């Protein structure tokens, strides 16, 4: 694994704490659209975030980085809308480091099999900005620290932009705070640079920083 690749995966480990001791295993190096078992550990009881979620997502993706998304193919907005979230992310060049971290933590099937999620997805540059020591620590502990970081970026339910502001309990057991309105949002210290991206089972907000757990 390349140094930059390992750094991105570690950062992801620290920010997306799904906190699932029994989460589904990854399907190897290939991101499949199906799952082999039902991810019951990723289906917590309804939270305030879920209750605030609309059944239908409306509106187009927004943000400066949306122009960097491919205009056709599996990585385009149309292409991603038909695939489950881990598979959709694997086709998006902005999220290759995140996808590598998700594979390393064995969370591909868990994310793809969840019924509805909201994912705050750090871009490659966000992982590159994480201190090397932190990334190394996360990558060395894929089922612990890395998983905790990654699941700290995931919330149950699909949350629309008009309901995204506020505090949200993550699947990793932490809380993240989204501030802003319209098309300008921050998640902790990170900014949403392409929001309201739809996949078959998730609403994705691409962000420019990694959300590290408080502890």
Dump pLDDT digits (tens) for 7-52: 333 333 434 433 333 333 333 444 444 443 333 344 444 444 443 4
In the chain, what are the domain boundaries? 3-20+47-207
User: Are the beta carbons of 157 and 36 closer than 8 angstroms?
Assistant: no
Average pLDDT over residues 93-109: 96
pLDDT in tens, 139-191: 999 999 999 999 999 999 999 999 999 999 999 999 999 999 999 999 999 99
Name residues whose C-beta falls within 8 Å of residue 35's C-beta, 6 or more positions apart in sequence: 24, 109, 112, 113
What was the pLDDT predicted at 42?
A: 46
Name residues whose C-beta falls within 8 Å of residue 166's C-beta, 6 or more positions apart in sequence: 48, 52, 177, 178
* Lookup: tokens for 199: 């996949």
Average pLDDT over residues 85-105: 97
- Say which CATH architecture domain 3-20+47-207 belongs to: Roll (2.30)
CA distances for 20 relative to 54, 137, 199, angstroms: 26, 19, 22
Average pLDDT over residues 82-96: 97
Instruction: Report how far residue 197's alpha carbon sits from residue 88's, in angstroms, rounded to the nearest whole number.
Output: 10
What was the pLDDT predicted at 108?
A: 97
What was the pLDDT predicted at 215?
A: 59
Q: Do β-strands 190-198 and 117-122 pair in parallel, antiparallel, or remain unpaired?
A: unpaired
Average pLDDT over residues 99-108: 97
- Asked if pLDDT for residue 83 goes beyond 70, the answer is yes
Q: Which stretch of 22-26, 115-119, 123-127, 159-163 has the lowest confidence by average pLDDT?
A: 22-26
Q: Give the count of alpha carbons within 13 A of 101, CB side only.
A: 43
What was the pLDDT predicted at 58?
A: 58
Q: What is the mean pLDDT of the chain?
A: 81
């Amino acid at each position: 694994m390349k140094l930059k690749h390992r750094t991105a995966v570690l950062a992801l480990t620290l920010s997306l704490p799904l906190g699932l001791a029994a989460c589904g295993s990854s399907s190897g190096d290939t991101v499949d659209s199906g799952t082999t078992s039902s991810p019951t550990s990723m289906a917590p009881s309804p939270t305030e975030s879920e209750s605030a979620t609309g059944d239908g997502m409306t509106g187009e993706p927004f943000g400066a980085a949306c122009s960097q998304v491919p205009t056709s193919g599996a990585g385009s907005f149309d292409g991603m809308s038909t695939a489950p979230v881990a598979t959709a992310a694997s086709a998006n060049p902005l999220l290759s480091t995140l996808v590598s971290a998700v594979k390393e933590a064995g969370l591909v099937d868990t994310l793809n099999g969840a019924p509805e999620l909201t994912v705050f997805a750090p871009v490659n540059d966000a992982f590159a900005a994480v201190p090397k020591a932190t990334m190394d620590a996360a990558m060395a502990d894929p089922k612990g620290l890395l998983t905790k970081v990654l699941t700290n970026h995931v919330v149950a339910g699909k949350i629309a932009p008009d309901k995204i502001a506020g505090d949200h309990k993550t699947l990793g057991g932490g809380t993240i705070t989204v501030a802003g309105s319209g098309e300008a949002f921050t998640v902790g210290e990170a900014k949403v640079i392409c929001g309201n991206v739809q996949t078959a089972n998730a609403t994705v907000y691409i962000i420019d920083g990694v959300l590290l757990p408080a502890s």
